[in-house]
Structure 1
Amino acid sequence: MAGWLWFRCLFGPSLHRIHRPLEQPRPEGRAGRRGWDYQPKTLERHTDSILGWASALWSLSYYSSPLILCYLYRKGYICSSKLAPYSQYVGTVLVCLLGVACLRGWGRWRNPEYLQFMTILEETRKSHTPSNKKKLASYDFDFSHWPADFSWKEVSNPKLSKGGVSLLKPEPKHRGAADSLLNSVRTLPCHIISYLIAHSFGRRMLYPGSVGLLQKAMRPMLQQGQARLIEEYDGQRNKLVACDGNEIDTMFVDRRGQRGPHGKTLVICCEGNAGFYEVGCMNTPLDGGYSVLGWNHPGFAGSTGVPFPQNEANAMDVVIQFAVHKLGFQLHDIVVYAWSIGGFTASWAVMSYPEIRALVLDASFDDLLPLALKVMPDSWRPLVTHTVRQYMNLNNAEQLCKYQGPVLLIRRTKDEIITTTGPEDIMSNRGNDLLLRLLQYRYPKVMTEDSLRAVRQWLSAGSQIEEASVYSGYEVDDDWCLSVLQSYQTDRETPFPWSVGEDMMLEGRRQLALFLARKYMRNFETTHCTPLPITEFHVPWKL
């Protein structure tokens, strides 16, 4: 038994923290803390450091291998006679690393804290009972070893297509000469280059949080944030398996048993392109007393895979299924809250699950393409357009217009990320285009050219005082606007788009357009990455 346990310690996960004490007393000197960082013994600490450096050097050599191989080829070193001595050297290094790993396993086996952790992990793998899961949740360790808590296979949903998730498709091609064989051959290099760009630096530029180097740099901060969620908020960490096989790292904080008006509402949070639930937008609804479910993009922290649009949609789908079928929430009790690029998965969620109660988009955009063109040379325009539309088509506005429920857009007036010309030009903020697309779809008879000019004038206001001045300048009567919308809704009960405003005078349409714009969008005078305070978080207006 002891030898088997040592063998498991040899290949066991790295242990980072003990969140809560179990039956054993706390180690001496830690009595005042609810949790503590795992302290490896000297042998384990040094051997772990050696293996860590070896892993880093392997990663570095892997990514630089094309350059290394090119150099060796030019120097004439790639031949059997010259490579043979190096193969013996590599074999010696591998044997030494294996010996170091055995010593690390021995050091872990001699540590009572790690030994108890491995015992609990093995018991949980054999029997995934609530009692064993609760014990295992007291530890923070490599998430790849965490047993799966929920899989998309546990639920059959006939309204979704292949694999349980509606497929995302690139823009349709037009028939005609463009589809000829000659044109396909001519554009083949463009397709190849687009694929290489999307699967190399393009994906990493779009989602820098998926870069391993950044995650290593942020690891102490992420571990601290996770400890806070578990130890202060009694958060529950779960592993979900999506239909593409990716494992999604989630954190759930349950407030249903607490006093307060918001505990029965679940807020599902969708993070930005370098955001993690450990330190991201989860904190805003938590401060408001909501039940909160956060998750990490594929390839971020404990989640596996890469964050391409289809993988993102698959992850969001299993998160919603988990919330409904495992956590026991109804779709009409769920609010989806997203920050920045998280608006893509959020808009996909409400498009695919229209019964969801509401959507809040903070510092989000209408379409990725204008922002991608902003950071690339003009000569690359056709290539960037093809790459985005084919592999990274984050068409938030198109998805949002397929949702019938309440929506709130939060615009950062000093946003430096989703503006196409700079934070000083508030009219280049792509949140404006998202609002206009939504209003034009839902209220096409109201959003005439004159109404659009009035709304754009309101959007160009750089402060609350200027905004109020524009609003009062058009003499908007809120009570009248509300009564018009309520009367239309009572008479027809029709889904969007509405025909309200078709028999209205020019002045009435402008008033109604400004009234709706202020209901659908709120300004927050700050930059893109400033955390949203709970005072700025509201459940969207509903007629």
Structure 2
Amino acid sequence: MAARLWLRCVFGPHLKRIHRRPDQIWPDGRLVRTGWNYQSGSLEKHTDSILGWASAMWYLSYCSSPLLVCYLYGKGYICSSKLAPLSQYVATTLLCLLGVACLRGWGRWKNAQYLEFVSVLEEAKKNHSPDNKKKLRCYNFDFSHWPADFSWTEVSNPKSSKAGVSLLKHQPRPRGAADSALRSVRALLCHVVSYLIVHSFGRRMLYPGSVGLLQKAMRPMLEQGQAKLIEEFDGQRNKLVACDGNEIDTMFVDRRRHGGSKAHTLVICCEGNAGFYEVGCMNTPLEGGYSVLGWNHPGFGGSTGVPFPQNEANAMDVVIQFAVHKLGFQLPDIVIYAWSIGGFTASWAVMSYPEIKAVVLDASFDDLLPLALKVMPESWRPLVHYTVRQYINLNVSEQLLKYQGPVLLVRRTRDEIITTTSPVDVASNRGNNLLLNLLQFRYPKIMTLEGLDVVRQWLRASTHGEEASVYSGYQVDDDWCTSVLLSYGSDADVKFPWNYGERMTIREKQQLALFLARKHMRNFETTHCTPLPASEFHLPWELY
């Protein structure tokens, strides 16, 4: 029995924090809310440091392995006479690390807190009862050891399959057959180069939050943010298993027992390319009084996998299924809120689940391709185009147009990330294109050339004063605009696109175009990475 317990300590997870014990109270009768960091002994601390450095060195060696192999080959080390001593050195190192792990297990075995944690974890894995899960949530440890709380297989009629959920595919233009052989060779070469780019530095440039070293550097901040969500907001951490096998790390804060209309609305948050639910946009609706469900991209935090579009959509799908089938929310009670690159999964969600109440896209863009072309050399243009469309086609606008519900776009007027020229040129913000595409699709008879020109003029305004000046210059009457839209909607009762506005005057079209633009987009005078205050978070405008 003692040997078995010692082995659990050797191969057990790294314990980071004890949030609180269930129903633990202070001597004065108050419920204990604050937690404390796990206090390891000196033996465990030093051995854990050695294993941590070994892990970091292995990660660096793995990332630099192509260059390392070339260097060793150039020095003549890649030969049978040199490989034998090298393999012996590697075997000795691994044996020493195993010895260090055993010593760490001994240190854990002597720690009463760790022994209590191991017993709770073992019991939770054997019996998935609510009481055992409640006890387990009192600990913060390596998420890979956390038992699954929900799987896509628990849904009777899931949208997903083992092949993944459906995505909108880019349709390449047809080519002639005159030089098909030459084109095939070029296409094959381009395919190979694109694959190598996207699976090496490309994916890491697009999602820097998936880089292990960055996560190690941010670990104290992430652990502090997670402790705040659990101890101050009574957050519940859950592991979801997507259809591709990836494990998705989520955090749910339930406000329903506190009452209020906002508490019964669930806001599902989709983070940016370096965002985590621990320190990301989840805090904005949380401070606004909503129930909130945050999740980490595949490869971020406790989530496994890599953040390619298919994996991202698979993760979003299981998060929605979890909200409906496990947390008890209906789709019309769910709002999707996304920041930056999170607009891709948010737009996929509302496209695939049209019953969702609304979507709010903060500092998002219409399409990844123009932004990728901005940061890459001009000579790489054909290769970048092929790579994006083939592997990382984040077509936010195309997916958003499939949704019929309320939409709100938040534009950062000093955004330095999603502009194609300079941060001060608000006219080059790709959020403008997202708005124009949406309005053109939904109101094509209003968004004619005259309507487009006046909306573009409004979009060039970088301050609230300039925006109000354009709006008042065309003498827009909000009450009149609302009444004419309501009269058409009540008579026709049709889905978008609407055909209303064909017989209107140019002036009326311009007024309606400005009215619709302001209802679908709000300006926030700040940069891309500034957290959105709760006062700036609003649900989208609804006509009815």
Q: TM-score band, normalised by the shorter chain?
A: over 0.9
Aligned to 1:112: 112
Q: How has the CA–CA distance of structure 1 residues 328 and 178 changed in structure 2, closer, same or farther, with 3 Å as cutoff?
A: farther
Amino acid aligned to 2:314? N
**What is the letter of the counterpart of residue 350 of structure 1?**
V
Cα RMSD for the two superposed structures: 1.7
CA drift of 1:162 comes to 6.2
Work out whether residues 20 and 33 of structure 2, in 8 Å CA contact, stay in contact via their aligned partners in 1: no
- CA change 1:267–1:178 in 2 (3 A) is farther
> What is the deviation of 1:356?
0.1
**Equivalent position of 2:86 in the other structure:** 86
- Pairs within 5 Å for 1:125-524: 125-157=125-157, 163=163, 165-174=165-174, 176-177=176-177, 180-524=180-524
The 8 Å contact of residues 168 and 309 in structure 1, kept in 2 or not, is answered as no
* Residue type at the aligned position of 1:293: L
User: Shift of residue 55 of structure 1?
Assistant: 1.3
Q: Do 1:15 and 1:114's aligned partners in 2 also have CA atoms closer than 8 Å?
A: yes
User: CA separation in 2, counterparts of 1:415 and 1:176?
Assistant: 42
SS at match of 2:148: coil
Q: How far apart, CA to CA, are the structure 2 residues paired with 1:456 and 1:480?
A: 22
**8 Å contact kept, 1:152–1:164:** no
Q: Deviation per CA, 1:478-516: give whole Å up to 9, x if none.
A: 111111100000001100000010111111100100000
For the 8 Å contact 1:21–1:34, the answer to whether it is kept is no
Structure 1 125/36 Cα, relative in aligned 2: closer, same or farther at 3 Å? same
Q: 1:12-46 deviations in whole A, cap 9, x for unaligned?
A: 000000000358899xxxx9972000011011001
The amino acid of 1:388's aligned partner reads: V
Segments of 5+ residues of structure 1 without an aligned counterpart are: none
Counterpart of 2:305 in 1: which secondary structure?
A: coil
SS at 2:280 equivalent: coil
Contact 1:156 1:164 in 2 (8 A): no
Task: Please report the TM-score for the alignment, with normalisation by the length of structure 2.
Answer: 0.96
The residue identity in structure 2 corresponding to 1:535 is: S
Kept in 1, the 8 Å contact 2:168–2:399? The answer is no
1:323-342 deviation line (CA, Å, top 9, x unaligned): 00000000000000000000
Per the alignment, residue 528 of structure 1 pairs with 528
Is the alpha carbon distance of 1:531 and 1:102 closer, same or farther for their aligned partners in structure 2, counting shifts above 3 Å?
same
Q: TM-score, normalised by structure 1?
A: 0.97
- Bigger shift: residues 234-243 or 87-96: 87-96
Q: Give the residue type in structure 2 aligned to 1:454.
A: V
Does the 8 A contact of 1:237 with 1:249 survive in 2? Answer: yes
Query: Contact 1:171–1:390 at 8 Å: present in 2 too?
Result: no
Query: Relative to 1, partners in 2 of residues 1:159 and 1:145: Cα closer, same or farther, differing over 3 Å?
Result: closer
Structure 1: distance between partners of 2:138 and 2:179: 58
- Percent sequence identity over matched residues? 77
Alignment partners' CA distance in 2, 1:238 and 1:161 = 22
- What displacement does 1:62 show? 1.9
Inter-partner Cα distance in structure 1 for 2:164 and 2:211? 28
Alpha-carbon distance change, 160 to 489 in structure 1, aligned in 2, over 3 angstroms: farther
Q: CA deviation at 1:69?
A: 2.0
Provide the C-alpha distance between the structure 1 equivalents of 2:83 and 2:403, rounded to a whole number of angstroms. 61
Q: How far does residue 471 in structure 1 lie from its aligned partner after superposition? A: 0.6
- Cα gap change, 1:240 to 1:493, in 2 (>3 Å): same
- Judged with a 3 Å threshold, the aligned counterparts in structure 2 of structure 1 residues 367 and 383 are, in CA distance, closer, same or farther, namely same
Q: How many residues align?
A: 539
Deviation of 1:277 (Å): 0.1
Change (3 A) 1:22 1:450: closer
Name structure 2 gaps, 5 residues minimum. Answer: none
Amino acid of the structure 2 residue aligned with 1:310: Q
The worse-fitting range, judged by mean Cα deviation, of 252-261 and 17-26 is: 17-26
Q: CA deviation at 1:185?
A: 1.7
The one-letter code matched in structure 2 to 1:317 is D
Q: 2: distance between equivalents of 1:351 and 1:249?
A: 23
Q: Would the alpha carbon gap of residues 68 and 260 (structure 1) be closer, same or farther in structure 2, given more than 3 Å must change?
A: same
With 93-102 and 247-256 compared, the bigger mean Cα shift is at 93-102
Q: Is the 8 A contact 2:363 2:412 kept in 1?
A: yes
Per the alignment, in what secondary structure is the counterpart of residue 119 of structure 1? helix
Q: CA deviation at 1:307?
A: 0.3
Q: For residues 415 and 497 of structure 1, what CA distance do their matches in structure 2 show?
A: 30
- 1:54 and 1:297 mapped to 2: Cα distance? 26
Instruction: Choose 69-78 or 367-376, whichever is displaced more.
Output: 69-78
- Does structure 1 retain, via aligned residues, the 8 Å contact 2:255–2:289? yes
1:466 and 1:115 map into 2 onto residues whose CA distance is 64
CA distance in 2, matches of 1:496, 1:179: 43
Partners of 1:393 and 1:91 lie apart in 2 by: 43
Query: Are the aligned partners of 2:25 and 2:32 in contact in 1 as well (CA < 8 Å)?
Result: no
- 1:437 and 1:262 mapped to 2: Cα distance? 30
User: How far apart are the structure 2 equivalents of 1:25 and 1:423?
Assistant: 52
When residues 175 and 74 of structure 1 are mapped into structure 2, their CA distance, relative to the original with a 3 A threshold, is closer
Question: Structure 2 CA distance, aligned partners of 1:179 and 1:314?
Answer: 39
CA displacement, residues 427-450 of structure 1 (integer Å, 9 cap, x when unaligned): 000000000000000000000111
